[in-house]
Structure 1
Amino acid sequence: MDGTLVDTEVLWWETAREVAAGLGHRLTDADAPEVVGRAVADTAAHLIEVTSGDPSTLPGAAAGRDPAPERTAADPAPAPERTAADRAAALERTAAELTDSFFRKVDAGAPLRPGAAALLTSLEAAGVPFALVSASPRSVVDAVVAGALAGVDFAFTLSADDTVRTKPHPDPYRAAAERFAADPAACVAVEDSPDGTASADAAGCAVLVVPSLLPVAPGRGRTFARSLEEVDLGVLTDCLRRPNPEIQGPKPA
Structure 2
Amino acid sequence: MPESAQPASAQPASGVTDGAALPAAVLFDMDGTLVDTEQLWWQSAAEIAEELSHPLTDQDAPEVLGQAVEHTAAHLHRVSGTSLSEAELAARLGESFAGKVAADTVPRPGALALLAALRDARVPTALVSASPRRVVDLVLSVIGRDWFAVTMAAEDTERTKPAPDPYLAAAERLGLDPAACVAVEDTPTGVASATAAGCAVLAVPSTATPMPDGERITLLASLEQADLALLGKLTAAPAV
Q: 2:200 aligns with which of 181, 196, 206?
A: 206
Uncovered stretches (5+) of structure 1, i.e. residues with no partner: 56-89, 245-253
Partner of 2:12: none
The Cα offsets for residues 24-74 of structure 1, whole Å up to 9 and x where unpaired, read as: 21011110011000111110011011002222xxxxxxxxxxxxxxxxxxx
Matched, 1:35 2:64: yes
Which protein, 1 or 2, shows the higher relative CO under an 8 Å CA cutoff with sep ≥ 6? 2
Q: How does 1:60-71 map to 2 (within 5 A)?
A: none
Distance 2:89 2:238 in 1: 42
> Is structure 2 residue 103 aligned with structure 1 residue 100?
no
Q: Alignment partner of 2:183: what SS?
A: strand
What is the TM-score with the length of structure 1 in the denominator?
0.80
Distance 1:171 1:151, change over 3 A: closer
Query: What letter matches 1:138 in structure 2?
Result: R
Report runs of 4+ in structure 1 exceeding 3 Å deviation. none
Quote how far apart the aligned CAs of 1:108 are.
0.6
Contact 1:221–1:243 at 8 Å: present in 2 too? no
Letter in 2 for 1:194: P
Contact 2:65–2:187 (CA<8 Å) still a contact in 1?
yes
Q: Does 1:231 align with 2:218?
A: no
2:48 corresponds in structure 1 to 19
Task: Note if contact 2:69-2:94 (Cα within 8 Å) is conserved in structure 1.
Answer: yes
The unaligned stretches of length 5 or more in structure 2 are 1-29
Is the partner of 1:131 in helix, strand or coil? strand
Query: Residue type of the partner of 1:23?
Result: L
Identity of aligned residues (%): 57
Counterpart of 1:142? 137
In 2, distance between residues paired with 1:150 and 1:104? 19
Q: Structure 1 181/217 Cα, relative in aligned 2: closer, same or farther at 3 Å?
A: same
AA at the equivalent of 1:131? A
Hey, what's the Cα distance between the residues in 1 that align with 2:164 and 2:58?
Answer: 26
1:94-124 superposed Cα distances (whole Å, 9 cap, x missing partner): 0000000000000012111111011011111
Residue 116 of structure 1 is aligned with which of 87, 111, 114?
111
Instruction: Tell me if 1:181 matches 2:175.
Output: yes
One-letter code aligned to 2:217: R
The offset of 1:152, in angstroms, is 4.2
Q: Hey, what's the Cα distance between the residues in 2 that align with 1:108 and 1:93? A: 23
Cα RMSD after superposing both structures: 1.2
Q: TM-score, structure 2 length as denominator? A: 0.85
1:243 deviates by 5.1
C-alpha separation between the residues in 2 aligned to 1:152 and 1:102? 24
